[in-house]
């Protein structure tokens, strides 16, 4: 790794390319997700520059790439349920509020920390991160092949060796994994069954959010109404693609946001104590090389029963 760099963009380079993409794709400095944490003193033509700066032929780019922070993900005794434990994989019932892997602002208390503690005698988890000294806490995800948002609960699968990890990742990449989610949404979704086919991309006005956008990536979601209570609907959602926040964005785009969603829930605040009503109910895939597809299921959380019972009772008392 070169600590400092000072380069001229070649005359045949395309004009208008983002600076972060140039550093990763053309200079191959490091992975894109590490730039924000490792890059210092970034300048373009002698002026301070951002990773989003657009550059062109003849521009002079300089900066310093500092060493990555040491791996600090450590095992911690955390509470989560193992639905199935096999020599090649684990199926986990992730509780609401648990972050899947370490990252900026979440270096402890994640599912990965819990796995490192619970399976500290497993050679795969015991050696995680030690074979690659360039591994940073932000990219430290032993066995993790997919994730759920912090406030989404439900079923996940974790690999217990590199071959299984590759096997699982390929299925998610090909889109052959079948997933079903339960959600309680605000309002009345009609008809009882349907499909949302609307591209999802990063919101140009709020970079931490996503939205339906013609510039986004193709995104499709099937829905089926399971139950209606006054003001709310229990739906079964099946994402046919895997975009970030896809289900939350698609439901909000119909005017029926998921209850308790702090990002896409709109101005109407949920009742006190109500959290995100989104749960990964089932996951169907081949869990290991040579294995036929298996359907894994997580039980419906108590918060769903409580919410529906409360609103059903309220309507009956009127």
Written as six digits, the tokens of 192 are 């009882």
10 Å CB burial of residue 174 (0-12, 13-18, 19+) is: exposed
pLDDT (tens digit, 9 = 90+) per residue, 263-296?
999 876 666 678 999 999 999 999 999 999 999 9
The pLDDT of residue 137: 47
Q: Which fold has domain 175-318?
A: Pseudouridine synthase (3.30.2350)
β-sheet bridge partners, residue 238: 222
Beta strands in the chain (DSSP E): 4-8, 17-18, 39-44, 47-48, 54-55, 60-65, 81-85, 89-94, 153-159, 178-186, 193-197, 200-202, 210-212, 220-229, 232-239, 278-285, 294-297
- Nearest residue to 175 via CA among 155, 197, 146, 149: 146
The pLDDT of residue 297: 98
pLDDT (tens digit, 9 = 90+) per residue, 32-59?
777 877 889 999 999 999 999 999 999 9
Q: Check for a shared fold between 70-174 and 175-318.
A: yes
pLDDT (tens digit, 9 = 90+) per residue, 107-158?
789 999 999 999 999 989 887 755 454 555 445 688 999 999 999 999 999 9
Global pTM value = 0.78
Per-residue pLDDT band for 104 (boundaries 50, 70, 90) equals low
Pairing of the two strands 81-85 and 89-94: antiparallel
Task: Give the CATH number of domain 4-65.
Answer: 3.10.290
Let me know: does 33 contact 39? Beta carbons within 8 Å: no
Active site residue 59: no
93: how many CB neighbours lie within 10 A of its CB? 20
What DSSP state is assigned to residue 180?
E
* 18-22, 139-143, 226-230, 309-313: range with lowest mean pLDDT: 139-143
Residues 6+ apart with CB under 8 A from 85: 91
Written as six digits, the tokens of 272 are 């006190």
10 Å CB burial of residue 184 (0-12, 13-18, 19+) is: buried
Which residue ranges make up each domain of the chain?
4-65, 70-174, 175-318
Residues 6+ apart with CB under 8 A from 306: none
Q: Which fold has domain 70-174?
A: Pseudouridine synthase (3.30.2350)
> Which residue among the candidates 59, 93, 122, 149 is catalytic per the annotation?
149
Tell me, rounded to whole angstroms, the distance of Cα 72 from its chain centroid.
21
Written as six digits, the tokens of 104 are 């900026």
For 155, the 3-state DSSP assignment is strand
Residues 6+ apart with CB under 8 A from 109: 76, 78, 98, 99
The pLDDT of residue 108: 84
């Amino acid at each position: 790794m070169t600590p400092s760099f000072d380069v001229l963009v070649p005359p045949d380079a395309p004009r208008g390319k983002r600076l972060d993409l140039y550093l990763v794709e053309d200079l191959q400095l490091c992975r894109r997700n590490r730039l924000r944490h490792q890059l210092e003193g970034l300048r373009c033509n002698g002026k301070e520059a951002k990773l989003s700066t657009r550059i062109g032929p003849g521009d002079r780019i300089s900066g310093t790439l500092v060493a990555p922070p040491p791996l600090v993900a450590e095992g911690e005794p955390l509470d989560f349920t193992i639905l199935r434990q096999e020599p090649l994989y684990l199926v986990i019932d992730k509780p609401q509020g648990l972050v899947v892997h370490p990252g900026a602002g979440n270096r402890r208390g994640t599912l990965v920390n819990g796995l490192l503690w619970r399976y500290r005698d497993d050679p795969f988890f015991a050696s995680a991160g030690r074979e690659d000294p360039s591994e940073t806490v932000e990219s430290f995800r032993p066995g993790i092949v997919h994730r759920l948002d912090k406030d989404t609960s439900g079923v996940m699968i974790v690999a217990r060796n590199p071959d299984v990890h590759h096997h699982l990742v390929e299925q998610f990449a090909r889109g052959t994994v079948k997933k079903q989610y339960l959600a309680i949404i605000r309002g009345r979704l009609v008809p009882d069954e349907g499909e949302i086919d609307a591209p999802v991309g990063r919101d140009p006005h709020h970079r931490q959010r996503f939205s339906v956008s013609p510039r986004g990536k193709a995104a499709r979601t099937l829905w089926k109404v399971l139950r209606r209570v006054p003001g709310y609907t229990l739906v079964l959602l099946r994402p046919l693609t895997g975009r970030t926040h896809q289900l939350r964005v698609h439901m909000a785009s119909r005017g029926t946001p998921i209850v308790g969603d702090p990002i896409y829930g709109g101005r109407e605040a949920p009742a006190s104590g109500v959290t995100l009503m989104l749960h990964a109910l089932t996951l169907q895939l081949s869990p290991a090389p040579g294995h036929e597809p298996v359907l894994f299921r997580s039980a419906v959380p108590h918060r769903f029963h409580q919410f529906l019972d409360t609103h059903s009772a309220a309507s009956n008392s009127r």
